[in-house]
């Protein structure tokens, strides 16, 4: 097998006294789709943000496409062009139209010409099914549409890797499907994807691997069938049972979990 | 005391609330009407009209008061605003810099120029600088001096406004830009600053109104006839004719600009409010 597309080695991250990541090793191969799940505060979003160095790791090394991002001499802007990132809050540029959101980064960062950038923008809007919104402003779009534009904006840069930070968590439930459909399409096309999510159905059906994190470490890592259907660790079982059937979690259980999870 | 007390409200001996309100409003109207009557009776309307509303003197001021005085006022103001905006932008970015000395310098500048009267800055530029550096000539003559003096004062206020605007842009915008491969400087220029300016357009326009009024301080630089702006022009004509009508006309010319600008600011603020909702 060739080198992994994403390679995280011995990663630690602290915010002051708060040790969020405590030794993460993770490899993601080319074309692989990996879903990262875990309770809130488990460090899964921080891990994702360390992969494109939006958060500077306290210790450890991060390689993407063979380039070490944690090397202080690396051109981080150039490295980030190969990594698309999709945020929970979309983060579209509100002062620009949908098309301009897609063309501005191409023109300023990749130095593409006007016509070329417009063509790439139109192609990617078509991919996410939003061609008719090309001239709209983000504020006039639904959350689901905004998130699809955000995905198109990342794709227009021609990334080799896509990172998704809880892409559907800020959406109304009925809008989640459209965004997941776009992500599924990307996965089918062979994009290397790392997805922090709570969408278990998506993880089960689309992911090649599921990683369960808790307390800043990777607790389980395996195929969806293994991790979701037959978890080996008590913490994973606990998390999954509460996630898959929130109504079943009773107060007593939650208290004991908080004591256990806090250690 | 209160109506919501546990005990049954005692029967008030004094005035009811309704009666009190009526009396209070009545008293206020009485004072107002009395003041208007007193003014109307005591003022010497004939002399006031003579002093402030001489139509032939007013007529003689046109078109110079517009083509010369108002034009110069606008020119001074706009050049001061441009200098202030450019300098304010630099100082705001210095204030947000990760390099300590830049932050301190910007802080010191803001404290000094916010604390000094604009008049003092004008005297400084007009008198102190030529004395301290003989032979130096500020480019643009009077126009250059005014632009510099007004710009120095405005920059301090604008720097704080711009900084606040930049900080009001959500953090996610910078993160999104960086993750797309923008360098920090380019992200600032193409993503953050354009949004910041949308936020600070109303306070910046207010600053323009303030500068418009401060441009009258050019009086203390000593100007040629051709460089006179509204205040100087009005004052000169008032002493020439021994009549105050020119002052009134000059004043009206200021309001001609400031009132519409104020209206624009309120419109922008209302629109911004709507956008937030």
Q: Write out pLDDT tens, residues A110-141.
A: 999 999 999 999 999 999 999 999 999 999 99
Q: What is the pLDDT of residue B15?
A: 80
**Which residues of chain B lie closer than 8 angstroms to A110, CB-CB?**
181
Beta carbons of B198 and A95 less than 8 Å apart: yes
pLDDT higher than 50, residue A241 = yes
What's the whole-number mean pLDDT along residues B7-30? 82
Distances (CA, A) of A30 to A3, A5, A181, A188, A193: 8, 5, 21, 13, 9
Residues 6+ apart with CB under 8 A from B206: B265
**Hey, is the C-beta of B177 within 8 angstroms of any chain A C-beta?**
yes
Q: What is the pLDDT of residue B8?
A: 64
- Beta-bridge mates of residue A214: A217
Q: What is the pLDDT of residue B9?
A: 62
**Which residues of chain B lie closer than 8 angstroms to A83, CB-CB?**
179
- Which residue in chain A has the smallest CA separation from B194? A95
Q: What is the pLDDT of residue A243?
A: 82
CA distance B99 to B105: 11
Tell me which long-range contacts A158-161 makes (C-beta under 8 A, separation of at least 24): A159/A81, A159/A82, A159/A83, A159/A84, A160/A5, A160/A65, A160/A82, A160/A83, A160/A192, A161/A5, A161/A6, A161/A64, A161/A65, A161/A82, A161/A83, A161/A84, A161/A191, A161/A192, A161/A193, A161/A194
**Hey, is the C-beta of B271 within 8 angstroms of any chain A C-beta?**
no
**Which residues of chain A lie closer than 8 angstroms to B183, CB-CB?**
77
Report residue B238's pLDDT band, with 50, 70 and 90 as the boundaries: confident
Sign for the CA dihedral angle at B170, A87, A127, A30 comes to positive
Beta carbons of B179 and A93 less than 8 Å apart: no
Nearest to B173 among A85, A93, A109 (CB): A93
Q: What is the pLDDT of residue B52?
A: 80
Residues 6+ apart with CB under 8 A from B247: B52, B234, B235, B238
Task: Give chain A's mean pLDDT.
Answer: 91
Q: What is the pLDDT of residue B228?
A: 85
CA distance B21 to A56: 65
CA distance A125 to B236: 66
Beta carbons of A77 and B182 less than 8 Å apart: yes
Higher pLDDT, A259 or B202: B202
**Which residues of chain A lie closer than 8 angstroms to B195, CB-CB?**
93-95
Q: Determine which of B181, B194, B197 to mutate to test the interface with A (most A C-beta atoms within 10 Å).
A: B181
- Which residue in chain B has the smallest CA separation from A158? B180
What's the whole-number mean pLDDT along residues A173-187? 94
Beta carbons of A85 and B176 less than 8 Å apart: yes
Complex ipTM: 0.89
Is residue A88 helix, strand or coil? coil
**Hey, is the C-beta of B173 within 8 angstroms of any chain A C-beta?**
yes
**Three-state secondary structure readout of chain B:** CCCCCCCCCCCCCCCCHHHHHHHHHHHHHHHHHHHHHHHHHHCCHHHHHHHHCCHHHHHHHCCHHHHHHHHHHHHHHHHHHHHHHHHHHHHHHHHCCCCHHHHHHHHHHHHHHHHCCHHHHHHHHHHHHHHHCCCCCCCCHHHHHHHHHHHHHHHHHHHHHHHHHHHHCCHHHHHHHHHCCCCHHHHHHHHHHHHHHHHHHHHHHHHHHHHHHHHHHHHHHCCCHHHCCHHHHHHHHHHHHCCCHHHHHHHHHHHHHHHHHHHHHHHHHHHHHHHHC
**Hey, is the C-beta of B190 within 8 angstroms of any chain A C-beta?**
yes
pLDDT higher than 90, residue B189 = yes
- Beta-bridge mates of residue A49: none
**Hey, is the C-beta of B274 within 8 angstroms of any chain A C-beta?**
no
Nearest to B182 among A95, A108, A150 (CB): A108
Beta carbons of A89 and B172 less than 8 Å apart: yes
**Residue B179 C-alpha, separation from nearest chain A C-alpha, in angstroms:** 6
Q: What are the percentages of helix, strand and coil residues in chain A, rounded to 5?
A: 45, 25, 35
Q: What is the pLDDT of residue A259?
A: 39
**Residue A82 C-alpha, separation from nearest chain B C-alpha, in angstroms:** 9
**Hey, is the C-beta of B182 within 8 angstroms of any chain A C-beta?**
yes
Beta carbons of A78 and B175 less than 8 Å apart: no
- Which residue in chain A has the smallest CA separation from B193? A95
**Which residues of chain B lie closer than 8 angstroms to A167, CB-CB?**
none
Q: What is the pLDDT of residue A79?
A: 93
CA distance B215 to B122: 10
The CA radius of gyration of chain B, in Å to the nearest whole number, is: 26
pLDDT higher than 70, residue A51 = yes
B148: tokens are 């510099």
pLDDT higher than 70, residue A263 = no
List pLDDT tens digits, range A54-102: 999 999 999 999 999 999 999 999 999 999 999 999 999 999 999 999 9
pLDDT higher than 80, residue B275 = no
Distances (CA, A) of B228 to B67, B76, B195: 11, 10, 38
Distances (CA, A) of A20 to A35, A43, A51, A113: 19, 5, 15, 42
Q: What is the pLDDT of residue A251?
A: 62
**Residue A84 C-alpha, separation from nearest chain B C-alpha, in angstroms:** 7
Q: What is the pLDDT of residue A260?
A: 38
Beta carbons of A91 and B175 less than 8 Å apart: yes
**Which residues of chain B lie closer than 8 angstroms to A95, CB-CB?**
194-195, 198
Report residue B106's pLDDT band, with 50, 70 and 90 as the boundaries: very high
What's the whole-number mean pLDDT along residues B163-183? 95
**Residue B191 C-alpha, separation from nearest chain A C-alpha, in angstroms:** 7
Report residue B219's pLDDT band, with 50, 70 and 90 as the boundaries: confident
The answer to whether A51 and A26 are in contact (CB under 8 A) is no
- Which residue in chain B has the smallest CA separation from A159? B180
State the helix-helix crossing angle for A114-127 and A143-155, rounded to 10 degrees.
130
Q: What is the pLDDT of residue B137?
A: 72
Q: What is the pLDDT of residue B185?
A: 93
DSSP secondary structure code for residue A218 in this structure: E
Percent of chain A with pLDDT over 90: 83
**Hey, is the C-beta of B191 within 8 angstroms of any chain A C-beta?**
yes
Task: Give chain B's mean pLDDT.
Answer: 87
Fold of B63-276: MetI-like fold (1.10.3720)
**Hey, is the C-beta of A209 within 8 angstroms of any chain B C-beta?**
no
**Hey, is the C-beta of A121 within 8 angstroms of any chain B C-beta?**
no
**Residue B81 C-alpha, separation from nearest chain A C-alpha, in angstroms:** 24
Nearest to A80 among B178, B190, B194 (CB): B178
Highest mean pLDDT of the ranges A161-165, B7-11, B74-78, B197-201: A161-165
CA distance A101 to A137: 9
């Amino acid at each position: 097998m060739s080198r992994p597309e994403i390679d995280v080695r011995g990663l630690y991250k602290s915010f002051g006294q708060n040790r969020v990541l405590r030794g993460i090793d993770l490899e993601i191969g080319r074309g692989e789709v990996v879903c990262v799940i875990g309770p809130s505060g488990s460090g899964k979003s921080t891990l994702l943000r360390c992969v494109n160095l939006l958060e500077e790791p306290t210790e450890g090394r991060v390689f993407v496409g063979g380039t070490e991002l944690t090397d202080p001499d690396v051109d981080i802007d150039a490295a980030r062009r190969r990594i698309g990132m999709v945020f929970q809050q979309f983060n579209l540029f509100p002062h620009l139209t949908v098309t301009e959101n897609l063309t501005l980064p191409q023109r300023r960062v990749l130095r593409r010409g006007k016509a070329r950038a417009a063509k790439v923008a139109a192609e990617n809007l078509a991919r996410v099914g939003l061609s008719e919104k090309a001239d709209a402003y983000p504020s006039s779009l639904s959350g689901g549409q905004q998130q699809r534009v955000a995905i198109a904006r990342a794709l227009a840069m021609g990334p080799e890797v896509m990172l998704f930070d809880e892409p559907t968590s800020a959406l109304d439930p009925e809008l989640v499907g459209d965004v997941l459909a776009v992500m599924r399409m990307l996965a089918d096309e062979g994009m290397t994807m790392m997805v922090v999510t709570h969408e278990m159905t998506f993880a089960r059906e689309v992911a090649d691997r599921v990683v369960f994190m808790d307390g800043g470490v990777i607790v389980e890592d395996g195929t969806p069938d293994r991790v979701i259907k037959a978890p080996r660790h008590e913490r994973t079982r606990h998390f999954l049972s509460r996630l898959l059937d929130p109504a079943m979690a009773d107060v007593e259980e939650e208290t004991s979990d908080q004591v256990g999870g806090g250690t | 005391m209160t109506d919501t007390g546990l005990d049954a409200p005692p029967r008030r001996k004094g005035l009811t609330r309704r009666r009190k309100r009526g009396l209070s409003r009545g008293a206020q109207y009485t004072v107002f009407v009395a003041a208007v009557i007193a003014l109307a009776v005591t003022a010497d309307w004939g002399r006031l009209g003579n002093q402030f509303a001489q139509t032939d003197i007013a007529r003689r001021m046109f078109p110079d008061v517009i083509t010369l005085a108002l034009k110069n006022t606008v020119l001074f103001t706009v050049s001061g605003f441009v200098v202030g905006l450019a300098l304010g932008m630099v100082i705001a970015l210095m204030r947000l810099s990760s390099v300590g000395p830049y932050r301190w310098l910007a802080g010191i500048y803001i404290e000094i120029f916010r604390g000094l009267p604009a008049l003092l800055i004008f005297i400084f530029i007009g008198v102190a600088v030529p004395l301290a550096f003989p032979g130096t000539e500020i480019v643009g003559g009077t126009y250059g001096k005014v632009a510099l003096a007004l710009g120095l004062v405005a920059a301090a206020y604008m720097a704080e406004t711009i900084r606040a605007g930049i900080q009001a842009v959500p953090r996610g915008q910078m993160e999104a830009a960086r993750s797309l491969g923008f360098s920090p400087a380019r992200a600032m220029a193409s993503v953050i600053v354009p949004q910041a300016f949308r936020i600070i357009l109303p306070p910046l326009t207010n600053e323009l109104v303030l500068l418009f009024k401060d441009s009258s301080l050019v009086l203390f630089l000593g100007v040629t006839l051709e460089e006179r702006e509204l205040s100087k022009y009005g004052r000169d004509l008032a002493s020439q004719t021994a009549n105050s009508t020119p002052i009134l006309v000059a004043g009206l010319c200021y309001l001609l600009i400031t009132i519409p600008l104020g209206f624009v600011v309120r419109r922008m603020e209302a629109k911004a409010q709507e956008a937030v909702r």
